[in-house]
Amino acid sequence: MNETTKATCADTAAVGTSGINTKRSINLPTGCRVRVDETRSMVELPIPRIRGDCNNDYTETKNNQNDDRNMVGRRRWKSISSAIWNGGLRSFTSKTERSNARRVCVFNYKVPSTYNGLDPEPKEMLQNAMRNNYDALMRPNHTSDDLHEETTIGIMTAASMGSLRTATRSAGGVVVDAIVTAGISNARTAGASADYFEILPPECINKNLPPPGTINTVVVINGVSLTETAMIEAYAITIEAKCGACADYSIACAKNSRQLAQGTGTDCAVLLCPTIPDNFLASNAVAYAGKHCLLAELIGQAVREATKEAILSNIHHLYGGGDFGLVKYHLHRLYKKLKSLALEGARPCIPAKPMDPVPNAPLEVSCLGMILLLICYNIGNIVIPRSVTILLAAAVWDRYLPEPPLSFHPVVLAGTMISLATKQYIPDTVFSLERPVLGVCSGAVFLVVTLFTFVSGAIAFMFALRCVEDASTAAAVSENTSVFYLFFFLQHRVVKFALWMLEVILFKTTFSLQLLCTIALQMAAFLERKNIQEARAQLSWLCSRDPSHLNSEELAGGTLESLSENLSDGTAAPIFWYVLFGPIGALCYRIANTLDSRIGYRGGRYEYFGKASARFDDLINLIPARLTALSLIFASCAIDGCNAKNGWLIAFADQNQCASPNAGWPMGAMAGILGVRLEKKGEYCLGISLGDSAIGPTPLDIRKGHKVVQLAGGIVLMLAVFVCTLREALS
């Protein structure tokens, strides 16, 4: 039967130079003494004991101090820890040549919340803290010559010492104490995105550190020794128990509130147990400490209880005491999760090769998307025009739901048709570079035929939808029998919603902002981790540039160019033409843009055949490209580290470097906003007007550019909503 033993605690108040300083002294059943004040805590260990000793009372008394002095020469503590000072696998003795009074201690120092982890270096800071604070806390009558740096394990935290909690479990003469301090502002899940991307040396870590918060765990086992293998198992149990305590309170990862944290980014754990005395057989040491054994139960329960209580004290400190504080905490956690759902959207990752399948959206994201779609549909029947509901619903679909099936995707069908026509049905003489007039004229005819085919098909499709909706409405109105009226009324509502959804899907297939932004973020992640080959493969999602010889700076530049240009071609322009001509206008634009991307480039087989498509694409992008540049400039005003004025200046100064009359506007604005050079060797160098202040782009610039593009896309959407609403109000 397990026995839970309560620790004894004595609180005293002392007045120091800084005012009233509350100190606590806690005596634990293992014999440990914990001393705590506002900035530090010390776990002072007793002389270790092993089962089989004549005295199994682990609390020191004057009667057994003589026995302790006899045993001190052959009794030591050993530890496994991730401590800054004396970490790793260590062995400590309570007696040295210089002193008969030294004890093994664990020193937990509270660093200022502004500490950057570099200045001073952590070991130096901890050593100074031990020298300056050890005597004041532990031995007021001792001099600084009596420090115990060689027998002290040093750890650090930014959490309040007021969160320190202890828990004890004992059975069969073995006692386990857990001492925990906890902060949760730096919570992380295992595998969360890194904050720093240099493995070595530590000096490369930038100083934009995450918020402070650490869960420090000290486990003391007295009464039994463990082999190194068992110590590692016990240490794993300690970590898992801490993770379990975090799960009990659903601590969310600070990087992604939808994921549960298993701790913080700076956690430290220390586990200590006695060594085998010289007069004991090695077989007396515990060789197995897995979850099936009693020792694992003691460790797991003690650590989980102490960690839960420490976390709870932190929650009460942040959100208020009692049940109301817990309710407030869980409401805040729910809010953060919903916010994370809304901000992240549907695509957490994209395969490196464009032809690989795109992963499905997480279930909760898809559910949120469907709920928002239903809201868009229902408010359209009450508040806003139908054209606005389709616009908003398509934006919701883009962010939270997967792309429509490629086999029915109009853009994919258009690309397939163009490829078949140019490779199998159009004679090669049309593409001859020696017959430019024939090529230009044939290309113009091909442009008109392709647009007519898809636009007439879309018009017929929209007309059929209207006919079905009208027939459904007429059937519902004409039926007077109550039973059949209810049936036809429900049928009418279902048909009306289905037809509305088909219009939404038709419009959605003409643009994609979420996919573009997700690919850009993944490019940043590859480049941050120096995965150049993966980044080169990923770039093919964004542009047709040969990436095989591009370096990190050039890959980042290509990503930013594609972000800004595709914001115009892939989002702003379809929305612009939707506002003017509805889903048909957006589809017509997308087919023309697809023609330009397939046959409108300079040089090669389609030099003359593609000119009509290229010039038509330039024409229909004249206004959207400039509106995109303006939206990027306005969006940059809300993003730290961006310069809207430079974006305006560079867009005007450098846009004419590009062969296209449109591409230079959004790309020039992006170069100026971020203060970087966007260069395609032999063709243009946007941002050169900034002079020496323009630098090569980095992954951090991609992340800033992503924020600007997301916000600019939102500006374009809201402007379109305003124009559609105003037009409906005036009509």
Cis previous bond, 201, omega within 30:
yes
How sure is the predictor about 590, in pLDDT bands with cuts at 50, 70 and 90? Answer: very high
Among 304, 332, 360, which residue terminates a domain?
A: 332
Evaluate whether residue 2 is within a structural domain. no
Three-state DSSP class for 76? strand
Residues listed for the chain: 731
Q: In whole angstroms, what is the distance from residue 83 CA to residue 156 CA?
A: 8
Q: What is the pLDDT of residues 364-409, one digit of tens each?
A: 888 999 999 999 998 876 778 999 999 999 999 999 988 877 777 8
Q: What's the pLDDT score for residue 62?
A: 40
Listing DSSP states for 706-718 in one string gives: HHHHHHHHHHHHH
Question: Cα dihedral angle (713, 715, 716, 719), rounded to 10 degrees?
Answer: 160
450 contacts 613 by C-beta, under 8 angstroms: no
Q: In whole angstroms, what is the distance from residue 687 CA to residue 419 CA?
A: 37
Residues 252 and 382 reside in one and the same domain: no
Residues 197 and 270 reside in one and the same domain: yes
Residues 145 and 232 reside in one and the same domain: yes
- Look at residue 293 and tell me whether its pLDDT is greater than 90: yes
Q: What's the pLDDT score for residue 485?
A: 60
Q: Would you report the helix, strand and coil content of the chain in percent, each value rounded to 5?
A: 55, 15, 30
Sole residue written with tokens 């040295």:
96
Residues 275 and 386 reside in one and the same domain: no
User: What are 384's two structure tokens?
Assistant: 């806003």
Q: What's the pLDDT score for residue 544?
A: 78
Q: Please choose, from the candidates 367, 410, 408, 369, the residue with its C-alpha nearest in 3D space to the C-alpha of residue 392.
A: 369
- Look at residue 12 and tell me whether its pLDDT is greater than 60: no
Residues 266 and 157 reside in one and the same domain: yes
Residue of 252 and 485 predicted with greater confidence: 252
Residues 117 and 163 reside in one and the same domain: yes
Which amino acid is residue 350, in one-letter code? I
- Look at residue 478 and tell me whether its pLDDT is greater than 90: no
Residues 294 and 363 reside in one and the same domain: no
Evaluate whether residue 339 is within a structural domain. no
Q: 197-211, 289-303, 387-401: which has the minimum mean pLDDT?
A: 197-211
507 contacts 391 by C-beta, under 8 angstroms: yes
Q: In whole angstroms, what is the distance from residue 105 CA to residue 601 CA?
A: 73
Q: In whole angstroms, what is the distance from residue 183 CA to residue 241 CA?
A: 16
Q: In whole angstroms, what is the distance from residue 514 CA to residue 118 CA?
A: 38
DSSP H helices, 509-531, are 514-528
Q: Read off the pLDDT of each residue in 676-686 and give the average, rounded to a whole number.
A: 91
Q: In whole angstroms, what is the distance from residue 223 CA to residue 285 CA?
A: 10
The structural domain count of the chain equals: 2
Q: What is the pLDDT of residues 443-459, one digit of tens each?
A: 999 999 999 999 898 88
Residues 293 and 366 reside in one and the same domain: no
- Look at residue 135 and tell me whether its pLDDT is greater than 60: no
Query: 159 vs 77, 103, 187, 255, 267, CA distance in Å?
Result: 27, 26, 12, 19, 11
Q: What is the pLDDT of residues 618-665, one digit of tens each?
A: 999 999 999 999 999 999 999 999 999 999 999 999 999 998 999 999
Residues 529 and 606 reside in one and the same domain: yes
Q: In whole angstroms, what is the distance from residue 543 CA to residue 558 CA?
A: 8
Evaluate whether residue 337 is within a structural domain. no
- Look at residue 134 and tell me whether its pLDDT is greater than 70: no
How sure is the predictor about 467, in pLDDT bands with cuts at 50, 70 and 90? Answer: confident
Residue 650's domain comprises 345-730
Q: Read off the pLDDT of each residue in 478-482 and give the average, rounded to a whole number.
A: 58
Sole residue written with tokens 């050039």:
554
Cis previous bond, 385, omega within 30:
no
State pTM to two decimals: 0.82
Residues 260 and 365 reside in one and the same domain: no
Q: In whole angstroms, what is the distance from residue 176 CA to residue 174 CA?
A: 7
Q: In whole angstroms, what is the distance from residue 481 CA to residue 485 CA?
A: 6
- Look at residue 274 and tell me whether its pLDDT is greater than 60: yes
Q: In whole angstroms, what is the distance from residue 172 CA to residue 50 CA?
A: 12
Q: What's the pLDDT score for residue 479?
A: 58
Residues 292 and 358 reside in one and the same domain: no
Q: Please choose, from the candidates 119, 118, 121, 148, the residue with its C-alpha nearest in 3D space to the C-alpha of residue 133.
A: 148
Among 332, 354, 385, which residue terminates a domain?
A: 332
Q: In whole angstroms, what is the distance from residue 637 CA to residue 240 CA?
A: 45
Evaluate whether residue 431 is within a structural domain. yes
Q: What is the pLDDT of residues 185-201, one digit of tens each?
A: 889 999 888 877 776 55
Q: What's the pLDDT score for residue 141?
A: 46
Residues 327 and 476 reside in one and the same domain: no
Q: In whole angstroms, what is the distance from residue 227 CA to residue 29 CA?
A: 23
Evaluate whether residue 3 is within a structural domain. no
- Residue-wise over 367-394: b if at least 16 C-beta within 10 A, else e? ebbeebbeebbeebeeebbebbbbbbbb
Q: 104-108, 177-181, 259-263, 459-463: which has the minimum mean pLDDT?
A: 459-463
Q: What's the pLDDT score for residue 66?
A: 47
Q: Read off the pLDDT of each residue in 426-438 and give the average, rounded to a whole number.
A: 89
414 contacts 587 by C-beta, under 8 angstroms: no
Evaluate whether residue 278 is within a structural domain. yes
Q: What's the pLDDT score for residue 132?
A: 72
- Residue-wise over 168-192: b if at least 16 C-beta within 10 A, else e? bbbbeebbbbbbbbbbbbbbbbeeb
112 contact partners, CB below 8 Å, separation of at least 6: 158
Which amino acid is residue 624, in one-letter code? P
- Look at residue 614 and tell me whether its pLDDT is greater than 90: yes
Which amino acid is residue 726, in one-letter code? L
Is beta strand 88-93 parallel, antiparallel or unpaired with respect to 76-81?
antiparallel
Evaluate whether residue 674 is within a structural domain. yes
User: What are 617's two structure tokens?
Assistant: 């694409």
77: left (phi over 0), alpha (psi -120 to 50) or beta: beta
- Look at residue 305 and tell me whether its pLDDT is greater than 90: yes
Evaluate whether residue 527 is within a structural domain. yes
- Look at residue 423 and tell me whether its pLDDT is greater than 80: yes
Among 332, 354, 389, which residue terminates a domain?
A: 332
Q: What is the mean pLDDT of the chain?
A: 84
Give the CA count within 13 Å in the CB-facing half-sphere of 311.
29
Q: 487-496, 559-568, 633-642: which has the minimum mean pLDDT?
A: 487-496
Q: Read off the pLDDT of each residue in 198-227 and give the average, rounded to a whole number.
A: 73
Q: What is the pLDDT of residues 99-115, one digit of tens each?
A: 444 678 999 999 887 77
What percent of the chain is modeled with pLDDT above 90? 50
Segment (H or E) for 727? helix 699-730
Q: 297-306, 335-344, 572-581, 634-643: which has the minimum mean pLDDT?
A: 335-344
